[in-house]
Structure 1
Amino acid sequence: MKATAKAHPIQGLIKYHGMRDEELRLPYHDSISVCTAPSATTTTVEFQPDAKEDVYLIGGDRVEGRGAERIDAVVEHVRDLADVEHPVRLESENSFPSNIGFGSSSSGFAAAAMALAEAAGLDMTRPEVSTIARRGSSSAARAVTGAFSHLYSGMNDRDCRSERIETDLEDELRIVAAHVPAYKETEQAHREAAESHMFQARMAHVHHQIDEMRDALYDADFDRAFELAEHDSLSLTATTMTGPAGWVYWQPDTIAVFNAVRELREDENVPVFFSTDTGASVYVNTTAEHVDTVENRIAAVGVDTDVWEVGGPAQILSESDALF
């Protein structure tokens, strides 16, 4: 009863914000994202009949407090589905920085859900596994199905699950990841989302944005898709900044990257757009043809960069890849 899985983190394109059910992590509205590779989380889990308690480790450190509670929600759901009671050992490693806005919770809970389902002997499709991952992080549902994926809102697991969107942009997209290391707290921002006076304005237009994004992906219209993602980032930030806590995630380097992107687009006609989730780091979306030009310009801002491509769905790895 042991398995290892790998999942890629997501970049939100039309992002969810706020949860109408915190326990099941049911979002207020649909969302669309794209997975980024080779950045990934690898997770090994084992049901251990002789163990006395659950043990969770990330990067070798014991997970406690709220982090352990979120993992518990996923583990307990798998136990219920598989009708097993054994304690679980879970170890996880990220190949990229966490808590700076690059979606580590999405890949973390996606890999955990895949490994747990496999170790428990559950025969499930990835959309079904996405409902397990969602209990840890709504974004993780989309990391399970991978590439460009759509998480539907709903009040139950039948409706609130993720599906992959097929698009030719999978081969064309390149993402220059601009690292701006400033710690961010996402869960509290989700908890108070509906208290922002901008939230209802966001709700009024986000459903149309979802339709527009799906249509752009079907047509493989790069400019249209990533202009939508750029504007959605601004909309999301307006909502987080006007909540009770007044969350301001962006740093001076974040704005400098935005300015560099706009200069490339407006002065040099380069197809490039910025996007952020709840964090200071920036996804700079461009095409394979222009990625070197874009990376050089973003690096000149003085931030560390990586170049990522589109990542696939969460995968079960071989026994030789186990972390313990």
Structure 2
Amino acid sequence: MISAKDFIPSKYTHSVEKGNFQWSAPSNIALVKYWGKKDNQIPANPSVSFTLNNCKTITKLAFAKKDISPEVSGSLNVTGNNFSFDLLFEGQPKEDFKPKIQKFLERIEIYLPFLKDYHFTIDTENTFPHSSGIASSASGMAALAMNLMSLEKALNPEMTEEYFYQKASLLARLGSGSACRSVKGQVVVWGNHANITGSSDLFGVEFPNAIHANFKNFQDTILLVDKGEKQVSSTIGHDLMHNHPFAERRFAQAHENLDQLISIFESGNLDEFIKIVESEALTLHAMMMTSMPYFILMKPNTLEIINAIWKFRNETKIPVCFTLDAGANVHVLYPQNVAEKVLQFIKNELVGYCQNGQYICDEIGNGAVLI
């Protein structure tokens, strides 16, 4: 059994003065939802997600060894025992992101002891509109974790590929839980599950079992119903599960649904897939509606879209379904072979419910990419 201690390095064999790396990492959409966590970003239940392809964060990390020689160590600019970084978002300084990065570096320092030796410039941008209600913390933290692992690999070139990706996912998780599912693979499981070999609470793993051709090239069209800031942060939402009256049953349900998905992925049964995915989305929102304090994150147009999808599916027998994150936007999921009909339906009937008619076409991707 792998433990977090296995990712604490002993010593590095090489030294690197300065350089830069650039990675892109995608967002992901959970099919079985993670909602509720224990200490250190450990999930209260396992989850599984489709990795997206087009909605991604591109992050460039430039680094240079700090000069901590005796002559300059008295000067105010040298932060020999602090984290030193500049943060740019789309080329402009972004001060309000800095506390989150500072907290992230504090959490991961035990795993990357070189962090205080360097000054970092983190330059990041999204391919999707910022604050469009698409989770950018998952793609953002995954992209940053990949860059930091590239630096660690330069310091320790003997590192295996398996260790590289497991540790990148572990680091990403400490920035944003679901970020660990944005590192590698098309279908990613995070959280211990009795019937999924290699599954772990520490990092995401590629779904190890058979996946039917029906789920290859699956499409996700994201309908931007509400682009405002989230009413309740994910962190607060997860915390509300601690004393939730239905928490234990919900965690058990996630295990059961993941169990069912194992055979669904193998058989390609789209009807059963739709039942699980839509039920999971509604359960996530039901947990928020029944917590204390309680929240309704859906908007009237979210419900209009859901009802329109149900009506369309009923009338046409086309296997299209919805899922939701912790917000009002709707992810419309469907196999590639019905894309033309579904996109026509979206343009004809659903675009009117989107803010400024905006939606994003995405599909399953493979995870982070070195640029």
Q: Measure how far apart 1:116 and its partner are.
A: 1.1
Compared with structure 1, are the counterparts of its residues 136 and 54 closer, same or farther at alpha carbon in structure 2 (3 Å cutoff)?
Answer: same
Q: Structure 2: how far apart are the matches of 1:215 and 1:87?
A: 49
Superposition map of 1:1-324 within 5 A: 1-21=19-39, 24-50=40-66, 53-64=84-95, 67-76=97-106, 79-84=109-114, 85=116, 86-121=118-153, 123=159, 124-153=163-192, 159-165=201-207, 167=211, 168-180=213-225, 181-184=227-230, 185-299=233-347, 300-301=349-350, 302=352, 303=354, 304-317=358-371
Q: Structure 2: how far apart are the matches of 1:112 and 1:119?
A: 11
Amino acid at match of 1:8: P
Compared with structure 1, are the counterparts of its residues 100 and 191 closer, same or farther at alpha carbon in structure 2 (3 Å cutoff)?
Answer: farther
Amino acid at match of 1:235: T
CA contact (8 A) 1:16 1:30 kept: yes
Provide TM-score, normalisation by structure 2: 0.77
Q: Please, which runs of 5 or more residues in structure 2 have no aligned partner?
A: 1-18, 67-77, 194-198
Amino acid at match of 1:9: S
Amino acid at match of 2:218: L
Which stretch of the first structure deviates more once superposed, 106-115 or 77-86? 77-86
Q: Structure 1: how far apart are the matches of 2:318 and 2:228?
A: 28
Compared with structure 1, are the counterparts of its residues 243 and 177 closer, same or farther at alpha carbon in structure 2 (3 Å cutoff)?
Answer: same
Which stretch of the first structure deviates more once superposed, 94-103 or 263-272? 94-103
Q: Deviations over 1:97-137 (max 9, x none)?
A: 34444221111111110011102335333222110100011
Identical counterparts, % of pairs: 24
Q: Structure 1: how far apart are the matches of 2:201 and 2:284?
A: 24
Q: Measure how far apart 1:229 and its partner are.
A: 1.2
Q: Measure how far apart 1:220 and its partner are.
A: 3.1
Q: Structure 2: how far apart are the matches of 1:142 and 1:149?
A: 6
Query: What is the aligned residue count?
Result: 312
Which stretch of the first structure deviates more once superposed, 108-117 or 212-221? 212-221
Q: Structure 2: how far apart are the matches of 1:290 and 1:3?
A: 39
Residue aligned with 2:222, SS: strand
Q: Structure 2: how far apart are the matches of 1:83 and 1:205?
A: 39
Amino acid at match of 1:103: A
Compared with structure 1, are the counterparts of its residues 231 and 116 closer, same or farther at alpha carbon in structure 2 (3 Å cutoff)?
Answer: same
Compared with structure 1, are the counterparts of its residues 102 and 49 closer, same or farther at alpha carbon in structure 2 (3 Å cutoff)?
Answer: same
CA contact (8 A) 2:166 2:204 kept: yes
Compared with structure 1, are the counterparts of its residues 99 and 246 closer, same or farther at alpha carbon in structure 2 (3 Å cutoff)?
Answer: farther
Compared with structure 1, are the counterparts of its residues 204 and 152 closer, same or farther at alpha carbon in structure 2 (3 Å cutoff)?
Answer: closer
Q: Please, which runs of 5 or more residues in structure 1 have no aligned partner?
A: 318-324
Q: Deviations over 1:194-214 (max 9, x none)?
A: 233232331231111111122
